[in-house]
Chain A
């Protein structure tokens, strides 16, 4: 069963200069037990997508599209109605979540306050909380500490336990490891997998710019470019056989351990993403794409689904060659 279904979702930012089309048509689904990696460069709309599923507030503006959570419509355009879903059914660990802990309250108070807002007493969940702290290797004394007494990695784990305490159907983790050191990053990433295995959450969206991290933990990867869907497929297939030219160039520009300038010179992607205030018609990657042809300037590509379940939005794949 699909936990999440998103159909043609459009979310813009209202600015003085006009609308920034940050998320301009996202269609995908996340199955039960799936860890979906959402990858792309800064400004591609990946965080906008994650945030709009939980708390869509100005300057973000809902434009169009539908979202279903476990088959039920998710009223993301209505902040009041979303209160019933937020934290209980769908939860977000935002970027820099570790700085989101109120510095004047002890960790225990932070837990109690958030639970109280959902009508739950801390006592009711205390034994569950204890075991989850154990799972993420946090000593229970942490509950009596202030956020300032914890390291970055510890705060990140506190936020992870907090946001999944009510077993939400969907957890969205936005760049949760990017501020951490490599060894802590690995441990935290493995915990996300553990949360899925323990069924604390039914499905996970992991947002990151680091594709090699997704290769380690994700089942599927969705790549976005300039507010548009580029490609979605199984992790192995995306990494070993990227279909979209953007995915292909992005992966080939990543330095791997063992690759050295003196032996193999890597290349970046020339140019930069288009302005999303007035994005060009057609395919948004066209200007940087070495394989672009006439059709790419005329119409934005459809998302097509091949027999293996791979979805690609590129005229090279969609065909119309004959």
Chain B
């Protein structure tokens, strides 16, 4: 459905753009119909940039993004509008998506003028009520209110409802629940899962939270400094993490069922200058052994079926480390 081919984004920084920042570096992946793919990374890993490029909010530096086989950068006019009927995004801060001086349901009116000018007002009203019920809101409670009168969870559901009115096929969900409270966030996640199951919606779920990603998705992509470190079937990545970075991430997540292992985490200053070699070189515990890590950027290779890793030395990772990070059910490691 959506396919990224060697997508790269370079931001120009400094006076006259003399410094270049590779926010996204040669990233390729695809999201098939009805799949939920999690894009997992720390801040600055390029995950939001990828989402924005898919939504055509920022241009690519090189590479291509295909939607149903067509390059989206070539779309314009009607074709672009059609694209937005099918592909929509919802973002982190629901409060900043609304103009506080207008009522929150104004987003539906704008949508109608843009996309559905011919639909009669009564029919439109009916559609809105239907879609609000789908996302778990009671129309009477939320329509006609200003953004400050609604909670973050309600506003976020409003935005999902807005996307659903367009009959979308692909949703970019960028950290959509990180600003919601623990007691309500799980309901928004469940809503996404239901939309996938009932409507066949494909979702790119951008997050830094590994447990949320695991709860919801079919596949995972682990990003570090703009490059994919590891990707594949969610169970395989979480049960048998192959990349040192994924292992550190998984062992750092605070959990309620087990205490932190005594793994050491490097906090040394990162040298931002490195251009050749592995992006994770500075923080990797395996890297010191060999020179290859410093000189050559590893390519993504298929380590097992549906499980890819970009690391020169993943076969040398000691067994017990793998186990410490990957154990969720304990027995799956051979």
* Chain A residues packing against B (C-beta within 8 Å): 41-42, 137, 139, 151-154, 157, 181-187, 189-190, 209-213, 215-216, 239, 249-251, 253-261, 265-269, 272
Docked CA distance A151–B269 (Å): 8
Asked if B42 lies at the interface with its beta carbon under 8 angstroms from chain A, I say: yes
- From B153, B182, B238, B267, contact of A209 by CB (8 A): B182
Inter-chain contacts of A185 with B (CB < 8 A): 252, 254
CB-based contact B267/A187 at 8 Å: yes
Bound-complex Cα distance A228 to B189 (A): 28
Taking CB atoms and an 8 Å cut-off, the chain B residues in 276-331 that contact chain A are 328-329
B162 at the interface (CB under 8 A from A): no
Closest to A249 in B: B183
Q: Is A183's CB under 8 angstroms from B42's CB?
A: yes
A216 B254 Cβ-Cβ under 8 A: yes
Given A212-B254, A255-B215, verify A183-B185 contact (CB < 8 Å): no
Beta-carbon contact of A253 and B182 below 8 Å: yes
Tell me, in angstroms, the Cα distance from A268 to B254 when the chains sit together. Answer: 20
Q: Enumerate chain A residues within 8 angstroms of B183, measured Cβ to Cβ.
A: 41, 249-250, 253, 268-269
Closest to B196 in A: A261
Shortest C-beta distance, A230 to chain B (Å), equals: 13
Q: Please, which residue of chain A has its CB at the minimum distance from the CB of B215?
A: A255
The CA of A249 and the CA of B184, in the complex, are separated in Å by 11
List, in ascending order, chain A residues with CB within 8 A of B238's CB. Answer: 257-258
In the complex, residue of chain B having the shortest beta-carbon distance to the beta carbon of A182: B252
In the complex, the answer to whether B267 meets A184 with C-beta atoms within 8 Å is yes
Shortest Cβ distance from A189 into B: residue: B254
Cβ contact of B184, chosen from A153, A190, A209, A268, cutoff 8 A: A268
Interchain nearest-CB distance for B158 vs A (Å):
15
**Please, what's the 1-or-0 string for B23-52, where 1 marks a CB less than 8 Å from any CB in chain A?**
000000000000000000011000000000
Expressed in whole angstroms, the Cα–Cα distance for A317 and B118 within the complex equals: 60
B42 and A181 contacting across the interface, CB-CB below 8 Å: yes
Q: Number of B residues whose C-beta is below 8 Å from A?
A: 40
B182 touches A257 (CB 8 A): no
In the complex, residue of chain A having the shortest beta-carbon distance to the beta carbon of B234: A260
Instruction: Judge whether A255 and B259 touch: CB under 8 Å.
Output: no
B210 touches A257 (CB 8 A): yes
Q: How far, in angstroms, from A213 to B329 measured CA to CA in the complex? A: 21
Query: Shortest CB–CB separation between residue A273 and chain B, in angstroms?
Result: 9
Whether the Cβ atoms of A182 and B208 lie closer than 8 Å is yes
Complex: how many Å from CA A259 to CA B209? 13
In this complex, which of B253, B254, B328 has the most chain A Cβ atoms within 10 angstroms of its Cβ?
B254
Bound Cα distance from A257 to B258, whole angstroms:
11
The interface bits of chain B over 204-248 (1 if a CB of A lies within 8 angstroms of the residue's CB, else 0) are 000010111011100000000000000000000010000000001
Q: Are A183 and B184 in contact (CB under 8 A)?
A: no
B260 near A216 with CB under 8 A, answer yes
List 3 A-B pairs, minimum CB-CB distance, nearest first. Answer: A181-B42, A258-B328, A269-B183
The yes or no answer to B133 lying at the interface (CB within 8 A) is: no
Closest-CB distance, B324 to chain A (whole angstroms) = 13
Whole-angstrom distance from the CB of B121 to the nearest CB of chain A? 31
Q: Please state if B211 and A215 are interface contacts (CB–CB under 8 Å).
A: no
Can you list 17 A-B pairs with a CB-CB distance of less than 8 A? A151-B270, A182-B42, A182-B252, A189-B254, A212-B255, A215-B256, A215-B259, A216-B259, A251-B256, A253-B182, A254-B211, A255-B212, A258-B214, A260-B214, A261-B190, A268-B190, A272-B184
B41 CB, min distance to chain A CBs, angstroms: 9
A253 to chain B: closest residue by CB: B186
- Contact present for B253 and A182 (CB under 8 Å): yes
Asked whether, in the complex, the Cβ of B260 is within 8 Å of the Cβ of A186, the reply is yes
User: Interface 1/0s, chain B 179-200, versus A by CB < 8 A?
Assistant: 0011111110110010000000
Cα A182 to Cα B214 in complex, Å, equals 15
A138 to chain B, nearest CB (A): 8
B55 at the interface (CB under 8 A from A): no
Known contacts A137-B268, A215-B254, A272-B151; A182/B181 CB under 8 A: no
Q: Is B250 an interface residue (CB 8 A)?
A: yes
Q: Is B265 located at the chain interface by the 8 A CB criterion?
A: yes
Which of A151, A183, A189, A251 counts the most B-chain CB atoms under 10 A from its CB? A183
Give min CB distance, A98 to chain B, whole Å.
Answer: 12
Question: Least Cβ distance of A193 to chain B in Å?
Answer: 10
Q: How far is the CB of A126 from chain B (nearest CB, A)?
A: 22
User: 7 extra interchain contacts, Cβ-Cβ under 8 A, other than A182-B208, A257-B214, A272-B151?
Assistant: A154-B269, A189-B254, A251-B256, A254-B256, A261-B193, A265-B190, A268-B186
Chain A residue contacts of B255, Cβ below 8 A: 212, 215, 256-257
CB-CB under 8 A from B268, the residues of chain A are 137
The verdict on B249 contacting chain A, using a C-beta distance below 8 Å, is: yes
Assess whether B211 is in contact with A183, with CB atoms less than 8 Å apart.
no
The answer to whether B190 touches A266 (Cβ under 8 A) is yes
Inter-chain CA distance A256–B328, complex, in Å, is 10
Residues of B within 8 A of A267 (CB): 186-187, 190
- Which residue in chain A gives the minimum CB-CB distance to B151? A272
Among B238, B253, B256, B270, the one with the most A-chain Cβ atoms within 10 Å of its Cβ is: B256
Q: How far is the CB of B330 from chain A (nearest CB, A)?
A: 10
- Interface flag for B257 (CB, 8 Å): yes
Contact A257 B328 (CB under 8 A): yes
**CB neighbours of B186 from chain A (8 A):** 253-255, 266-268
Tell me which residues across on chain B come within 8 A of A210, comparing CB atoms. Answer: 254
Q: How far is the CA of A8 from the CA of B193 in the complex (A)?
A: 44
Residue of A nearest to B251 (CB): A186
- A265 CB → nearest B CB, Å: 6
Nearest chain A residue, comparing its CB with the CB of B212 = A255
Q: Which of B153, B267, B270 has its CB near the most chain A CB atoms (within 10 A)? A: B267
Q: Which residues of chain B are within 8 angstroms of A251 by Cβ–Cβ distance?
A: 256
In the complex, A125 Cα to B199 Cα: how many Å?
64
Which residues of chain A are near B153, meaning CB under 8 Å? 272
Shortest distance from the beta carbon of B97 to any chain A beta carbon, whole Å: 18
From residue A20, how far is it (CB to closest CB) to chain B in Å? Answer: 14
